[in-house]
Every structure is written in structure tokens, then in C-alpha cells.
């Protein structure tokens, strides 16, 4: 990580968002540098998903500014964010069970050829596989044959497909919402290792997690949200589980106020 020298890949500065009567975000700031894994943690309702949605272009902040590669950006839609190189892997993964792995990797971007003018185009499966395989190999993503239906994959393998899809499209920033929530021990390990490999290739990773063990293993920095605000920013090597939980729950502040 080269955070001291470089411009942040992503800089979120004091964003705020209201949904009707609910002030969901009231001052969220965070940076992600190229090659850095940042964990976004906080209790239920703290504003993690809303923050991710602002960066993914799904929602727009009422106030505050987002910078990407040093430039102020207006992320007015998911396609604007994707064109900049921001890819999001949501909890539901949005995979098509009835399609094979390679079709899921290319969902919406399928390579097609016209065999007979006037008839529907045929998918260029072999070329899609050719393009996908080096990316999967580079990241040591082990999947069954790419012609396997996604319906038959384990939770960990599905997560791998979703991450590979994000990487295949030239991402600079990959955001993952609870990537290990539904996974067993071995699968969790594989996904955390994949996150580390992504970062080692220079990709910035922003990961939402409730699992402090995962966070302390994979993140370089940990940003804590509470009640829609950034309340702490820890370097992994300088913090521990107890300090994180205190920041998440605000327990130390409550004790201080009560005194």
C-alpha cells in the first residue's frame, strides 16, 4: 500500500442522505487507496449499505462530495460508476442460476456473432471462456468447468463468480457487501484470500462486514460508522477487536457522558 504518496482512488467527503424522515447519513467520510482493503463496519442501520449505494451510483448524496482518482464525480447512475471502474458485489450476488458460469461472467456484455442474417445472434462461448480464463487464473480462482450451471455451485463458488465478474470488467474499485456472511470456514478463507489478491494487483477494495475476525484479517484500514456518521478510522495493525466493538457501539462515549 502506498497511501502516503498517492492520491486516494476514492475519497468520500462528508456525504449526507435523507430518506423522508430518516437521516440515513449525516457526515460519512472515507478514503480508499489503490491496492488497499478498507473495511466499513457499524451496527445495523449505521449507514453502510447506503454509503455503498452512493459510491455505486444507485443513490445520490444530498450533500457532500465524492472524488474518484482525485476528480470530483457525480455518480448519477450505476453505469456512470461502472464506467469509472467501480464494481459492486451485493449480498444477493445477482447471478442467474439457470445460466452457466461463463454466461454469468459476461451477463449483459455477452460476445455475440450473427450466423444467419435476420436470425438471433449466437453467443461466442469459446471466446468468452478464452477471455475469462486468464483473469480467473491470475487471481487463482478455482471454479468447475465454465459451462457448469451456477445453480450447482456452492456459496463460496458463487461469491467467486461474482467477484470474478467485477474484476473481468477492469475494476479499479471493488465493493463487497458482506462477502462471507453465508459461507463456511474454508469458503470464507478462500474469499478473504481472493480479496487480498485483488488488492495486491492494485485494486482498491471496500468491504462491508459484521465479522470482526474477517475484518482484522483482511483489512488494511477499518472505517467505523455509527448513526450515519464516520466515528473512527483505524489502521488494522494499531487496533484490536475490543477497540472496534467499542467504536461500533459507542460504549466509551456513553460512559464518558454518564460521568
Q: N- to C-terminal Cα distance for the chain?
A: 41
Min. distance of Cβ 21 from ligand ATP in angstroms?
A: 8
Min. distance of Cβ 48 from ligand ATP in angstroms?
A: 4
Closer to ligand ATP by CB, 11 or 51: give it. Answer: 51
176 binds ligand ATP (CB under 6 A): no
Interface of this chain with ligand ATP, residues 17 to 56, rule: CB under 6 A: 19, 22, 24, 42, 44-50
215 binds ligand ATP (CB under 6 A): no
What is the C-alpha separation between 126 and 234, in angstroms, rounded? 46
222 binds ligand ATP (CB under 6 A): no
Rg (CA), the chain: 20
Q: Where are the alpha helices (DSSP H) in the chain?
A: 48-56, 78-84, 101-105, 125-138, 155-168, 185-200, 212-218, 241-249, 251-258
What is the C-alpha separation between 244 and 184, in angstroms, rounded? 24
Closer to ligand ATP by CB, 40 or 195: give it. Answer: 40
Min. distance of Cβ 46 from ligand ATP in angstroms?
A: 4
| Burial class of 175 by CB neighbour count within 10 A (0 to 12, 13 to 18, 19+) | buried
88 binds ligand ATP (CB under 6 A): no
Q: Residue numbers of the site for ligand ATP (CB under 6 A)? A: 19, 22, 24, 42, 44-50
Amino acid at each position: 500500500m502506498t497511501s502516503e504518496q498517492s492520491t486516494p482512488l476514492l475519497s468520500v467527503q462528508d456525504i449526507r442522505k435523507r430518506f423522508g424522515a430518516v437521516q440515513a447519513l449525516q457526515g460519512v467520510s472515507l478514503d480508499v487507496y489503490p491496492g488497499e482493503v478498507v473495511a466499513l463496519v457499524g451496527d445495523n442501520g449505521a449507514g453502510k449499505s447506503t454509503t455503498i449505494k452512493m459510491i455505486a451510483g444507485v443513490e445520490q448524496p444530498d450533500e457532500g462530495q465524492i472524488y474518484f482518482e482525485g476528480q470530483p464525480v457525480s455518480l448519477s447512475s450505476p453505469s456512470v460508476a461502472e464506467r469509472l471502474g467501480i464494481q459492486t458485489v451485493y449480498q444477493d450476488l445477482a447471478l442467474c442460476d439457470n445460466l452457466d458460469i461463463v454466461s454469468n461472467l459476461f451477463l449483459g456484455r455477452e460476445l455475440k456473432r450473427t450466423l444467419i442474417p435476420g436470425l438471433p445472434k449466437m453467443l461466442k462461448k469459446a471466446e468468452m471462456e478464452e477471455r475469462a480464463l486468464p483473469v480467473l487464473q491470475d487471481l487463482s480462482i478455482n471454479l468447475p468447468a465454465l459451462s457448469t450451471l451456477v445453480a450447482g455451485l456452492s456459496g463460496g463458488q458463487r461469491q467467486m463468480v461474482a467477484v470474478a465478474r467485477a474484476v473481468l470488467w477492469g475494476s479499479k474499485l471493488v465493493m463487497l457487501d458482506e462477502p462471507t456472511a453465508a459461507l463456511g470456514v474454508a469458503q470464507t478463507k478462500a474469499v478473504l484470500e481472493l480479496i487480498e489478491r485483488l488488492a495486491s494487483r492494485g485494486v482498491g477494495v471496500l468491504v462491508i462486514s459484521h465479522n470482526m475476525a474477517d475484518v482484522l484479517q483482511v483489512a488494511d484500514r477499518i472505517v467505523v460508522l455509527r448513526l450515519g456518521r464516520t466515528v473512527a478510522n483505524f489502521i488494522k495493525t494499531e487496533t484490536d477487536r475490543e477497540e472496534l466493538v467499542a467504536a461500533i457501539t459507542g460504549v466509551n462515549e456513553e460512559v464518558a457522558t454518564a460521568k
